[in-house]
Amino acid sequence: MTTNVNLLQPLTIAHAPAASKPILEGIQKGFGFIPNLMATFANSPEMLKGYLAQNAEWDKTSFTPQERNSAVLAASLENECGHCIAVHSTIAKAFQKVPAETVAAIRAGKPIGDKKTDALISLVRQPVPKRGHASRATIDSFLTVGFTKTQVMELLKAVALKTISNYLDHINPAPLDAAFASEK
């Protein structure tokens, strides 16, 4: 459920605060465009910098790129953020070559048949509606398939990262970029 408040508009480089401009230029160079959610974050250089710094640290965790994307997709699903679901579904299919049926299963909340990925998704999805709580059985399943105790903690980064972007989109929905529209 979104509030459709639209307090803030996505900003262009020309209209962004001075401290956001070089960051947006870097995003544009890397992506070829500035995603609307990042352009909305640009209203506050501190939020934009903080979000990107947190994302950079998430990328340094011990998870593979596919595991990281599955984790943030799962968190976005739990937070019911259609915008981020579309973004991470697109990334999975287009850039990580994850099969469409795998992405569809994750989006439907169904097991994908890979015990390790299923355990990861379960451990991400459980704490979101339970305010950080996860059952011992879910944690044990995660550890049993080969993940570590440290990775239990690292998954909190995915939840925190997506809480920020998902909640921003709930409070202030950003238009979905054409690059992600096929996954809406």
pLDDT the model gives residue 4: 62
- What does the DSSP 8-state code read for residue 91? I
Instruction: Please give the domain boundaries of the chain with CATH numbers for all domains.
Output: 10-60 (1.20.5), 65-171 (1.20.1290.10)
Q: Which two tokens stand for residue 34?
A: 């500035």
Q: How many CA atoms lie within 13 A of 97 on its CB side?
A: 0
DSSP output for 25-77: HHHHHHHSS--HHHHHHTTSHHHHHHHHHHHHHHHTSSS-HHHHHHHHHHHHH
pLDDT the model gives residue 52: 97
pLDDT in tens, the chain (184 residues): 445 667 899 999 999 999 999 999 999 999 999 999 999 999 999 999 999 999 999 999 999 999 999 999 999 999 999 999 999 999 999 988 889 999 999 999 999 999 999 999 999 999 888 888 999 999 999 999 999 999 999 999 999 999 999 999 999 999 999 999 999 9
Q: Helix crossing, 45-59 with 21-31: angle to 10°? A: 40
